[in-house]
Amino acid sequence: MPSEEQLRDYARVAIEVGLGVEPGERVLIAAPVVRPEFARMVVDAAYDAGAISADVLWFDDAVDRSRFTHGSAEAADALPGSALFRLADFEAGASFLRIHAADPAKFAGVDQARVQQQNRREMEHIRPQMEAMGIGHVPWTVIGVPIPAWASSVFPDDDAEEAEERLWQAILRAARIDTPDPVDGWRAHIADLEARAAHLDSRDYRRLRYEGPGTDLVLGMTDRARWRGGGMTTPAGKPFAPNLPTEEVFTSPHRMKAEGTVRATKPLSYFGDLIEDFSFELSEGKVVGSRAGVGEATLRAILGSDDGAVHFGEAAMVPQSGAVAAEHLVWKNILYDENDACHIALGQSYASCYDGADALSADERLEVGLNRSSVHVDFVLGSPQLSVFGVLDGGGEEPIIAAGEWGFTV
């Protein structure tokens, strides 16, 4: 188990850097029941930062699974109480922190159609919160902690205790907690990512071109595309960092402008099912063909979630030299796997990646090229063999990622 000092540093980074908590604010923390000691440290850190309320919404994999293994057919369409609580606290002005710790086999063997049905029901209810988070109107962040089932899936050859300790240490290194001053270290790292996003903004690329093993893909950009990276800032000017760790600089491509093929380089763990060796073929912005060596039914379920699930909502650049990639793990947790290498997401776009999205209705955002979906599913295509080029108006190209690393300096 990490030292108490390390854990309190991690909690402080989550509150001070992740949420940027200031005196007088409310905080809602979603935390696994198997990690109460760390959740309490996060609560302490929130109050130390001046929060007037730091509430915990506990979650449990077994409870979530029981809905589908013991509940009636109607249970998948019933709104969970946690969604009611989340929306109520959001409406009261709370920022949101999720301590992510899920068993990759949480829903193994469960009918994925029912899981998707329940997910759509929940996402529809908390849509106001999700939209506010997407455009940066409310601070939010996600961090990770190990639980036994997750640790054993990452390190299957170790006994349970050793696996959990190894995952703890990997998480803390990926979160830069092993540095002399983690908070200052994070602020410097975020500043670097923001400088890279600003550089890409200044280039005004019309397209992104990907080339790598099994990947030959072109993504068109919207007419007012923005790049984001590191942190975000609320309209009131408060900075926060949505993901800890984060190694990405990302944008939302035009939903109707994707052509070519793309092949995933890492497995995707999705609601307890592992999808491996999978690829997509795209035409006119839409997935028109897909295959998977393992988990093809789950992949089809994702693509069938709604009309927007077959379009791309995010394109993210991640260097292979980042702190997450340095661990050389298949994390089986998208918070970490997506920060391991370049990735693309099926589904919902980020409105913050379109200049002026605040003034647009949901339908207007769709018209300008932002995607709308109940899902946002990241998959990794990055590797030391991947290169990504920004294509300028006149057709000239500039490297963004060159053989897995940044292709430009700032």
- Reported as a single tens digit per residue, the pLDDT across 256-297 is 999 999 999 999 988 767 899 999 999 999 999 999 999 999
Provide the pLDDT for residue 109: 82
What pLDDT is stored for residue 58 in this prediction? 96
E strand or H helix at 281: strand 273-283
Q: Which residues of the chain have pLDDT under 50?
A: none
Contacts of 409 (CB under 8 A, 6+ apart): none
For the chain, where do the domains classified as CATH 3.40.1830.10 start and end?
4-174
CATH number of 4-174: 3.40.1830.10
Contact 333, 106 (CB under 8 A): no
**What are the pLDDT digits (tens) for 350-394?**
988 999 998 999 999 999 999 999 899 999 999 999 999 999 999
Dihedral of alpha carbons 256, 343, 182, 330, sign: positive
Pick from 95, 71, 82: nearest CA to 16: 95
Length of the chain: 410
